Chain A
């Protein structure tokens, strides 16, 4: 009897949790519905004019979407080689004591609040660019990418290491018995075998970088111009929301457009997560087929 009761309680709490996510999505859709309806999805997503106070308001968030993609992709480009290198080091080459030292370091790096990363980046990196390149103001998408790189590295490393470790030992033994070096084995055999896991790690990191707020808010420069290069300023979606939500009038087109921006971000990151799930399940199937 008690058993059944517990099961029912567990079941209902879990269902409520699932409903909560749906509620978040539903809320975002509900709050932003009027602008999607009146302006159309295409005009908002590809529009590059953001004048929410004008009459009629211009609510294109294309500039911000581009800034988000630019800073996140830049971070992934920088973090991937370094992250894979560190993952290979931890999985294959590091002496056990050193690996035991580095793993908690990764946990701590994930735990450092993003506002601290943003602060250190803004106080050190931006200063550095201003002083050594004589720029009038050092903020740029590149700066944001640099800090995002540090922030997503732990995710890439932990997940890639797990993927490398999941490769069965027989490959290592065979290769070493044939007489190839461990480096050759890692690059030519282990990396291709662990490919799906590694791609998953990088995609996860991309999602994290795209959703990150404080660091980009403090580093990207926050100007509403279409970014033309990695070194121009921009205002990613998350920064736009954080900056303007407090000043927008509830129920105005401005307010609704910010929810539209949030919805775009949410859909994008959730799509990445579902894609990740598909990749991981695909991997499981391959293993079981062997």
Chain B
């Protein structure tokens, strides 16, 4: 064979290897976590509180699950509506202008702000300046700021991908823009927007850096009171590992987080498929 043919075969093999390595990485992570954490993850682990000395050696993660749930709820309540409204403005109302470009650029820049910097802002503003203290409210609002740009971007793209002919037909028929938006365009984009919000929830549930300094503590009841600190799954994992409390429980917690995320991704995929 000519050397050229050999080179082509080598390149092809490299491309295949690079592509398949992604599958290997994901399966490797999930497989390893299941192997090490599968035996820990049980109904009892999910429904009992951490116990033992130091706290977390035995028992489960119920308060952390509850805390993460509350944090995500606060975040989504604060970020979802403004996010979708901003997306509607960008996709439907704003004319091509400097102002629109500026908002688009701002949202893009906000999406790139490192989460630890968002946490720093949350600490200075919510915890100190407004005096919320280390609390569910401060952490939830900080997470809200973090996921806001994500929601804007996915909702905007969902609205923009609605077929242009609906808008044209609506305009020729003289239907008001508002009516078109509520009755035609939003329903068309709804499943993609909801999918985006779900992904943002997953992102908020897994974020650690922003809540380390604004909401999460090593041990709390996580009752849901807005001005009290909470436990959270990702922070619990961090503490379990770095303080060398219990490596088994750390694997269990990590597996739980990954499963939560897989679940959210599957739902989003299913929603998108429904759209087609």
Q: Which chain A residues have a beta carbon within 8 Å of chain B's beta carbons? A: 2-3, 6-7, 9-11, 13-18, 20-21, 24, 27-28, 31, 81-86, 88-90, 92-94, 98, 101-102, 104-109, 111-116, 118-120, 122-124, 150, 153-154, 157, 181, 183-184, 187, 207-208, 210-214, 218, 238, 241-242, 245-246, 250, 258-259, 262, 265-266, 269-270, 272-274, 276-277
Binary interface profile of B, 124-135, with partner A (CB < 8 Å = 1, else 0)?
110010000000
CA A112 to CA B264, docked complex, whole Å: 11
Q: Does B224 contact A (CB under 8 A)?
A: no
Q: Does B219 contact A (CB under 8 A)?
A: no
CA A104 to CA B269, docked complex, whole Å: 8
- Partner of B17 from A85, A259, A276 at Cβ < 8 Å: A85
CA A169 to CA B184, docked complex, whole Å: 34
Q: Does B222 contact A (CB under 8 A)?
A: no
- Partner of B152 from A17, A84, A276 at Cβ < 8 Å: A17
Selecting from B46-54, B55-63, B86-94, B164-172, the interface stretch reads B86-94
A116 with B117, Cβ < 8 A, contacts A3-B177, A9-B85 known: no
Q: Does B109 contact A (CB under 8 A)?
A: yes
Q: Does B82 contact A (CB under 8 A)?
A: yes
Instruction: List chain A residues, Cβ under 8 A from B82.
Output: 13, 16-17
Q: Are A207 and B29 in touch, CB under 8 angstroms? A: no
Residue on A nearest B114 in the bound complex, by CB: A211
- Partner of A89 from B19, B26, B128, B213 at Cβ < 8 Å: B19
Q: Are A246 and B213 in touch, CB under 8 angstroms? A: yes
Interface residues on B, range: 35 or more
Q: Are B103 and A27 in touch, CB under 8 angstroms? A: no
Residue on A nearest B83 in the bound complex, by CB: A17
CA A21 to CA B23, docked complex, whole Å: 37
Instruction: List chain A residues, Cβ under 8 A from B38.
Output: none
Beyond the given A11-B94, A266-B114, could you list 9 further A-B residue pairs with CB under 8 A, ordered by the A residue number? A6-B177, A94-B19, A106-B22, A111-B199, A113-B207, A120-B29, A120-B33, A245-B123, A265-B117
CA A17 to CA B119, docked complex, whole Å: 17
Contacting residues of chain B (1-57) with chain A, CB-CB under 8 angstroms: 4, 7-8, 11-12, 14-19, 21-23, 25-26, 29, 32-33
Q: Are A13 and B85 in touch, CB under 8 angstroms? A: yes
CA A154 to CA B118, docked complex, whole Å: 23
CA A211 to CA B88, docked complex, whole Å: 29
Q: Are A86 and B19 in touch, CB under 8 angstroms? A: yes
- Partner of A269 from B29, B112, B128, B177 at Cβ < 8 Å: B112
Q: Does B247 contact A (CB under 8 A)?
A: yes
Main secondary structure of the interface of A (DSSP, over half): helix
Q: Are B89 and A14 in touch, CB under 8 angstroms? A: yes
- Partner of B241 from A10, A105, A123 at Cβ < 8 Å: A123
Q: Does B212 contact A (CB under 8 A)?
A: yes
CA A12 to CA B18, docked complex, whole Å: 46
A250 with B128, Cβ < 8 A, contacts A6-B178, A85-B19 known: yes
Instruction: List chain B residues, Cβ under 8 A from A187.
Output: 11
Rounded to whole Å, the gap between the CB of B44 and the closest CB of chain A is 22
Instruction: List chain B residues, Cβ under 8 A from A157.
Output: 22
CA A218 to CA B239, docked complex, whole Å: 11
Instruction: List chain A residues, Cβ under 8 A from B176.
Output: 2-3
A214 with B8, Cβ < 8 A, contacts A265-B117, A269-B114 known: no
Q: Are B258 and A88 in touch, CB under 8 angstroms? A: no
Instruction: List chain A residues, Cβ under 8 A from B89.
Output: 7, 10-11, 13-14
Contacting residues of chain B (99-141) with chain A, CB-CB under 8 angstroms: 102-103, 105-110, 112-121, 123-125, 128
Residue picked from B18, B85, B176, B254, most chain A C-beta under 10 Å: B18
Q: Are B208 and A115 in touch, CB under 8 angstroms? A: yes
CA A93 to CA B258, docked complex, whole Å: 30
Instruction: List chain B residues, Cβ under 8 A from A116.
Output: 29, 33, 206, 234, 237, 254, 257-258
Rounded to whole Å, the gap between the CB of A34 and the closest CB of chain B is 14
- Partner of B237 from A88, A119, A274 at Cβ < 8 Å: A119
Q: Are B22 and A211 in touch, CB under 8 angstroms? A: no
Instruction: List chain B residues, Cβ under 8 A from A153.
Output: 22, 25
CA A208 to CA B3, docked complex, whole Å: 40
Residue picked from A9, A20, A81, A157, most chain B C-beta under 10 Å: A20
Q: 9 nearest interchain CB pairs? A: A113-B206, A211-B114, A85-B18, A89-B19, A10-B89, A213-B209, A86-B18, A89-B15, A183-B11
A82 with B18, Cβ < 8 A, contacts A3-B178, A17-B103, A28-B121 known: yes
